[in-house]
């Protein structure tokens, strides 16, 4: 991967987090990377050159590339970054906490696995989609189980408890 492709990929991931979406528009990528001299076709070819078809899907629109989109596949990204950060360890940490009915915090996951926050973000998105709670930061002391959580102004995710 050359430097330009690396910048493009990082921009796509940053945009996905900023906008909290899996669908990224070409025009947003161009604005983000500040490559005013790169054409839509060059950007498209750079993305094709990354050979990440399993991780992102480019959808061309008939009106040209400007409004074309890129769809990110969360699990695909987890596998792509697995060589950099051990996403299996992250999943294990989250799974064991869920199994024990414990609360797990983003910072704990990052500390335990020494993973980059971006990787943890995508893995958390996956667990959220299954209905689990991953908290951004600790609540009041004394909470020992997910069942003890009540909303007290902190960000929280929907829970799925039988």
Question: Which top CATH class is 3-72?
Answer: mainly alpha
pLDDT of residue 154 exceeding 60, the answer is no
3-state secondary structure of 39: coil
pLDDT of residue 59 exceeding 70, the answer is yes
Domain map of the chain by residue range? 3-72, 76-148
pLDDT of residue 141 exceeding 60, the answer is no
Q: What is the mean pLDDT of residues 50-78?
A: 64
Q: For the segment 68-126, what is each residue's pLDDT rounded down to a tens digit?
A: 777 765 544 544 454 444 556 666 666 565 555 555 555 666 666 666 566 666 666 66
Q: What is the DSSP string of 6-33?
A: HHHHHHHHHHHHHHT-SEEEHHHHHHHH
DSSP code of residue 147: G
Average pLDDT taken over every residue of the chain: 61
**pLDDT band of 158, cuts 50, 70, 90:** very low
Contacts of 3 (CB under 8 A, 6+ apart): none
């Amino acid at each position: 991967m050359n430097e330009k492709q690396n910048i493009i990929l990082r921009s796509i991931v940053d945009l996905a987090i900023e906008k909290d979406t899996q669908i990224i528009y070409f025009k947003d990528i161009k604005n983000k990377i500040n490559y005013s001299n790169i054409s839509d076709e060059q950007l498209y070819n750079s993305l094709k050159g990354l050979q990440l078809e399993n991780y992102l899907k480019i959808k061309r629109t008939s009106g040209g590339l400007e409004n074309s989109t890129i769809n990110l596949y969360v699990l695909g990204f987890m596998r792509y970054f697995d060589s950099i950060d051990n996403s299996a360890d992250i999943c294990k940490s989250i799974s064991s906490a869920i199994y024990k009915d414990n609360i797990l915090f983003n910072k704990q996951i990052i500390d335990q696995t020494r993973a980059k926050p971006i990787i943890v973000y995508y893995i958390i998105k996956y667990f959220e989609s299954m209905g689990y709670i991953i908290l951004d930061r600790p609540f009041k002391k004394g909470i020992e189980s997910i069942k003890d959580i009540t909303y007290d102004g902190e960000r929280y995710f929907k829970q799925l408890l039988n």
